[in-house]
């Protein structure tokens, strides 16, 4: 599956938030400054070509439905991110955040507890 641009990811966030719908509703979900309607429509068409969404013609417009769950995309994105930037090592990822003081010892303890108890949250 093709990687998404930042603009495509923002559009997908709106599509996932609404669990599908119409361009005008996706536009309402986007942060300011909002792109023009036609730009968002082109972006969503690109998402359809990349097989992230499916369209169904309804009258003069199209309704779009996500083909990939947000959680599945997140897993795929994070795996690629860790592969590309941290030599496929989640330990390196956590160590990076610890060195940058972006994660506290308490948060690390919570993560260890989650791993030991196999509890996702």
pLDDT tens digits, one per residue of 1-46: 778 999 999 999 999 999 999 999 999 999 999 999 999 999 999 9
pLDDT tens digits, one per residue of 50-79: 999 999 999 999 999 999 999 999 988 888
19 Cβ contact list (under 8 Å, min separation 6): 65, 66
| H or E segment and range at residue 17 | helix 6-18
HEC string for 51-88: CCEEEEEECCEEEEEECCCHHHHHHHHHHHHHHHHCCC
pLDDT of residue 120: 60
pLDDT of residue 48: 97
pLDDT of residue 2: 78
Domains of the chain, each with CATH number or no CATH: 6-66 (1.10.10.10), 70-117 (1.10.4040)
- Length, in residues, of the chain: 121
pLDDT of residue 77: 86
pLDDT tens digits, one per residue of 98-110: 888 888 889 888 8
- Residue 46 main-chain phi, psi, to 5 deg: -65, -40
What is the reported pTM? 0.76
Do residues 22 and 63 touch, judged by C-beta distance below 8 A? yes
The conformational region for residue 88 under phi > 0 = left, psi -120 to 50 = alpha, else beta, is: left
CA distances from 43 to 23, 36, 78, 100 (A): 10, 11, 23, 35
pLDDT of residue 53: 98
């Amino acid at each position: 599956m093709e990687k998404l641009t930042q603009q495509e990811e923002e559009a997908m966030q709106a599509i996932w938030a609404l669990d599908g719908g119409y361009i005008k509703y996706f536009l309402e979900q986007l942060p300011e400054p909002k792109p023009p309607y036609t730009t968002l429509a082109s972006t969503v068409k690109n998402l359809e070509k990349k097989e992230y969404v499916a369209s169904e013609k309804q009258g003069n417009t199209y309704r779009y439905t996500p083909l990939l769950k947000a959680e599945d995309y997140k897993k795929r994105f994070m795996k690629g991110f860790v592969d590309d930037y941290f030599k496929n090592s989640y330990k390196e990822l956590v160590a990076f955040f610890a060195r940058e003081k972006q994660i506290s010892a308490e948060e690390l303890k919570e993560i260890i507890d989650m791993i030991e108890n196999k509890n996702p949250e």
